[in-house]
Amino acid sequence: MAIIGVLFLFFLAICLNTESAYITYNTSQGIVSGKLNVHLVPHTHDDVGWLKTVDQYYVGSNNSIRGACVQNVLDSMISALLADKNRKFIYVEQAFFQRWWRQQSQTLQGLVKQLVKTGQLEFINGGMCMHDEATPHYIDMIDQTTLGHRFIKQEFDQVPRVGWQIDPFGHSAVQAYLLGAELGFDSLFFARIDYQDRKRRKDDKTLEVIWRGSKSLGSTSQIFTGVFPRHYDPPDGFTFEVNDVSEPIQDDITLFDYNVQERVDDFVAAAFAQANVTRTNHIMWAMGTDFRYQYANTWFRQMDKFIHYVNKDGRVNALYSTPSIYTDAKYAANESWPVKDDDFFPYADKENTYWTGYFTSRPAFKGYVRMMSGYYLAARQLEFFKGRSNLGPNTDTLADALAIAQHHDAVTGTQRQHVASDYAKRLAMGYVEAEELVASSLACLAESTSNTECRKPMEKLEQCPLLNISYCPPSEMTLSSGKSMVLLVYNPLGWKREDVIRIPVINESITIHDSNGKEIEAQLIPIANASLKLRNYYVQAYLGKSPSVTPKYWLAFMATAPPLGFSTYILSNVKNSGSLTTLSTIYTSLGSENDSLEVGQRNLKLTYAVDKGKLIHYTNSRSLVNADIKQSYIFYSAYAGSGVDPQASGAYIFRPNGTYPIKTEQKGSLTVIRGPVLDEITRIYKGKEHVEVEFIVGPIPIDDGIGKELAIQITTGMKTNKTFYTDSNGRDFIKRIRDYRTDWTLQVNQPVAGNYYP
């Protein structure tokens, strides 16, 4: 017992004589040649709306859904950077940063400008959001990126160098060349590619490539592209938010669980594991993920320690870095890189999980975004013609709303319902302001008699934002004798256009003349009862009142407008026997005739089987195309998931559990509308060589608890050898081959979902 007591007292004396000491961590390390360099890139991924609205994410409200506050991220990150000149951080979403910037004092703004100037804070991507790459139009991608880049240039005199599309669900060729190389980026990085593709690339060390997204531009518009070997977070065991479970470095020898060597060994092992799938002696660790750095010191404290102790260990070299520094190091390595063509669609992250469902999720919202995009283009032009006013109505609100609507959880349709409503509300508010600008600008231009600046217009032009539900009060008024209505058609494109205009009217006594007094050929098409029911329901829902009149016809006529200009048409009720406005002829089959009928004028003609009420043949006499063709409607039954395989079909994932034709309970009749402007079953315009299909769906029956995806099925006799083409963001066409990928041998697990493309 005496010996034990002596030993105990001796140990206690050692502990009492040891004190904690301040440690200065050396974080100044740069790149070291001849060693494996681990580039630590601190970042946060802040969705501009998803589970919460963009405002809720920024201020940190509604945290019962998700504890996220971007305001805290930016406050905390800036403080952490100011504490150590060697620390670095990259930031992406300007929709958040600009809000934060406007709330800061001039003193703090000056400090932040210095952080940007020295490279501690670097803006990556630079758009208002990290836009989706499957569902937006390329013009919208350009516009939202331009808004962010303009702010960065004006406030910081900086131009982003790197694309950082880490979370979109697949990647387009247009992103590579137009929003990458042509934008001036040196590199592009992302995380999500097909799981089979990722495995093959890791095995071949081809995660980093030269991407040539354009067949026509080729090597003149290529970009160095890196795919992360896992997600856009650090290797397992290296995430350090307050509530994360990774083991921190405990380097105080007076405390229990001292683990410096253990953690350094973990770091080195993870670094060499990644180096085994990467070319050159440079690897990047994306140190962050969704809404991280709300308390930035928890991250930077650990990274300071890792850089300090790993570099003392000497087996690898760790440094604070950015994607720009990493890109420069890759270029300097003088490595040869494999070339990538086409795109990275469709994306699947595991066997039965194809992220092709969002191509059609919330289709009404997708349509609204596209419609507002076209309107915004016209409004900006008219704003320029009239002269911009910062005090009066302008296009800024619509521009901001459209920008965040391109986010990869906005136009995709993958957001929560209250967030979808918030996006739509912002677009509607932007439209209202832009509508006032457009009305005054067009009236001003229409009344202008000289090239001098136009004065306040005498007349007010009205517009019809609810025309899609057959509601347009200006065109539905009664034109009494001697009264007329002026219709102004504006063309925002750079070439002359001829398009059919359709507006609802209450009677057939309508005559149309152009601005030279020449009468225009027009056609009256009866409005279907189903359309009127939808009109009455939604007008009440949107406006809180029922329509005061009921239109009987669509008035259709061919309008011509010059490039970047407008034309005017006069509608009156001075109709006589020689009028060029004619009522459509209507033919309704009884559904039993064993015969066919032909629809269309001039080159394009469609043939329908009367007894089946279906399209059977397509003829174009100019292009000499003469083919059997069938159009039908089907639905995919959604897989609900099971205990063995829980992956269900949903807003992101398309996983069908069978395909079924849509059959009516009774044999329907076939109604054909003919006239001088258009023929309609599926719509064919006079002189046009395309067919326009319009149909109304809903409500979709889900009483059986099974989700359903509706689709048009077109069957032809063409011999395509499984080859077809899809568009890329409205700008290019991409060659596709069914059940085939150009870069690897595809194991086909989902033959339907795996063959759908944007």
What does the pLDDT look like over 255-298, one tens digit per residue? Answer: 999 999 999 999 999 999 999 999 999 999 999 999 999 999 99
Looking at the DSSP bridge assignments, the partners of residue 503 are 555
| High-pLDDT (> 90) share of the chain, % | 75
Peptide bond into 346 cis (omega under 30): yes
For tokens 């009455």, name the residue: 536
Contacts of 113 (CB under 8 A, 6+ apart): 155, 156
Q: In 3D, which of 17, 94, 58, 35 has the Cα closest to residue 404?
A: 94
Residue 677: predicted pLDDT: 92
Instruction: Please say whether the beta carbons of 566 and 442 come within 8 A.
Output: yes
- Residue 16, pLDDT above cutoff 60: no
Length of the chain: 758
Contacts of 677 (CB under 8 A, 6+ apart): 500, 521, 522, 523, 556, 557, 558, 685, 686
Contacts of 632 (CB under 8 A, 6+ apart): 614, 661, 662, 712, 713, 715
Q: Which helix (H) or strand (E) holds 200?
A: helix 195-204
> What is the per-residue pLDDT across 304-359, written as a single tens digit (0 to 9) for each?
999 999 999 999 999 999 999 999 999 999 999 999 999 999 999 999 999 999 99
Work out the average pLDDT over 469-492: 88
Cα–Cα distances in angstroms (integers) from residue 513 to residues 26, 298, 517, 560, in the given order: 80, 72, 5, 12
Residue 481: predicted pLDDT: 66
Residue 151: predicted pLDDT: 98
Q: Positive or negative, the Cα torsion across 129, 135, 139, 142?
A: positive
**Top-confidence residue, 390 or 359:** 359
How far out from the chain centre does Cα 340 lie? 23
How far out from the chain centre does Cα 90 lie? 22
Largest Cα–Cα separation, the chain:
128
Residue 610: predicted pLDDT: 80
Average pLDDT, the chain: 91
377: three-class secondary structure by DSSP: helix
Distance CA 548, CA 555 (A): 19
Residue 718: predicted pLDDT: 86
Identify the DSSP state of 131.
B
Work out the average pLDDT over 578-598: 79
Backbone angles phi, psi at 42, to 5 degrees: -65, 130
> What is the per-residue pLDDT across 46-68, written as a single tens digit (0 to 9) for each?
999 999 999 999 999 999 999 99
Work out the average pLDDT over 491-514: 93
- For residue 46, the one-letter residue type is D
Work out the average pLDDT over 472-492: 87
Distance CA 504, CA 475 (A): 6
Q: Which residues of 275-311 are buried (b: 16+ CB within 10 A; e: fewer)?
A: bebbbbbbbbbbbbbebbbbbbbbbbebbbbbbbbbb
Residue 625: predicted pLDDT: 85
Residue 6: predicted pLDDT: 47
Lowest-confidence segment of 86-100, 132-146, 608-622 by average pLDDT = 608-622
Kindly tell me the burial class for residue 580, based on how many C-beta atoms sit within 10 Å of its own C-beta (0-12, 13-18, 19 or more).
middle
Contacts of 174 (CB under 8 A, 6+ apart): 133, 138, 141, 213, 728, 729, 731, 732
- Residue 11, pLDDT above cutoff 50: no
Q: In 3D, which of 39, 25, 120, 28 has the Cα closest to residue 81?
A: 120
**Top-confidence residue, 686 or 7:** 686
Tokens standing for residue 222 = 């290529």
Backbone angles phi, psi at 542, to 5 degrees: -80, -40
- Residue 622, pLDDT above cutoff 90: no
Looking at the DSSP bridge assignments, the partners of residue 609 are 596, 614
Residue 687: pLDDT band by 50, 70, 90 thresholds? confident
Distance CA 311, CA 665 (A): 75
Distance CA 655, CA 648 (A): 7
Distance CA 276, CA 280 (A): 10
> What is the per-residue pLDDT across 453-474, written as a single tens digit (0 to 9) for each?
666 666 778 999 999 999 999 9
Peptide bond into 699 cis (omega under 30): yes
Q: Global pTM?
A: 0.93
Contacts of 549 (CB under 8 A, 6+ apart): 476, 506
Distance CA 445, CA 110 (A): 44
Angle at 715 (CA atoms; ends 710, 720), nearest 5 degrees: 120
Lowest-confidence segment of 327-331, 390-394, 490-494 by average pLDDT = 390-394
Distance CA 184, CA 252 (A): 47
Residue 452: predicted pLDDT: 56
Work out the average pLDDT over 480-501: 90
- Residue 19, pLDDT above cutoff 90: no
Work out the average pLDDT over 86-93: 98
Helical H segments across 276-362, by residue range: 297-313, 323-332
Classify 34 in phi/psi space as left (phi over 0), alpha (psi -120 to 50) or beta.
Answer: left
- Residue 178, pLDDT above cutoff 90: yes
Work out the average pLDDT over 638-653: 93
Distance CA 257, CA 43 (A): 29
Q: In 3D, which of 590, 554, 555 has the Cα closest to residue 666?
A: 590
Q: Rounded to 5, what percent of the chain is helix, strand, coil?
A: 30, 25, 45
Residue 14: pLDDT band by 50, 70, 90 thresholds? very low
Domains and CATH numbers, the chain: 34-346 (3.20.110.10), 363-446 (1.20.1270.50), 470-583 (2.60.40.1180), 585-718 (2.70.98.30)
Tokens standing for residue 148 = 């962010």
Identify the DSSP state of 172.
-
Work out the average pLDDT over 393-403: 96
Work out the average pLDDT over 611-624: 84
For tokens 């629809």, name the residue: 599
Q: Are strands 708-716 and 723-728 parallel, antiparallel or unpaired?
A: unpaired
In sequence order, what DSSP letters do the residues of 404-447 get, joined into one string?
A: HHTBTTTTTS-S-HHHHHHHHHHHHHHHHHHHHHHHHHHHHHHH
How many Cα atoms are found within 13 Å in the side-chain-facing hemisphere of 757? 23
Tokens standing for residue 485 = 């209505």
Number of neighbouring beta carbons within 10 Å of residue 629: 19
- For residue 350, the one-letter residue type is K
Distance CA 719, CA 529 (A): 41
- Residue 112, pLDDT above cutoff 60: yes
Looking at the DSSP bridge assignments, the partners of residue 131 are 407
Strand locations in 37-157, DSSP E? Answer: 37-42, 89-91, 121-123
How many Cα atoms are found within 13 Å in the side-chain-facing hemisphere of 13? 6
Distance CA 370, CA 376 (A): 10
Instruction: Please say whether the beta carbons of 624 and 653 come within 8 A.
Output: no
> What is the per-residue pLDDT across 693-743, written as a single tens digit (0 to 9) for each?
887 777 888 899 999 999 989 998 889 999 999 999 999 999 999 999 999
- For residue 52, the one-letter residue type is K
- For residue 686, the one-letter residue type is K
Q: In 3D, which of 201, 172, 193 has the Cα closest to residue 341?
A: 172
Distance CA 39, CA 305 (A): 15
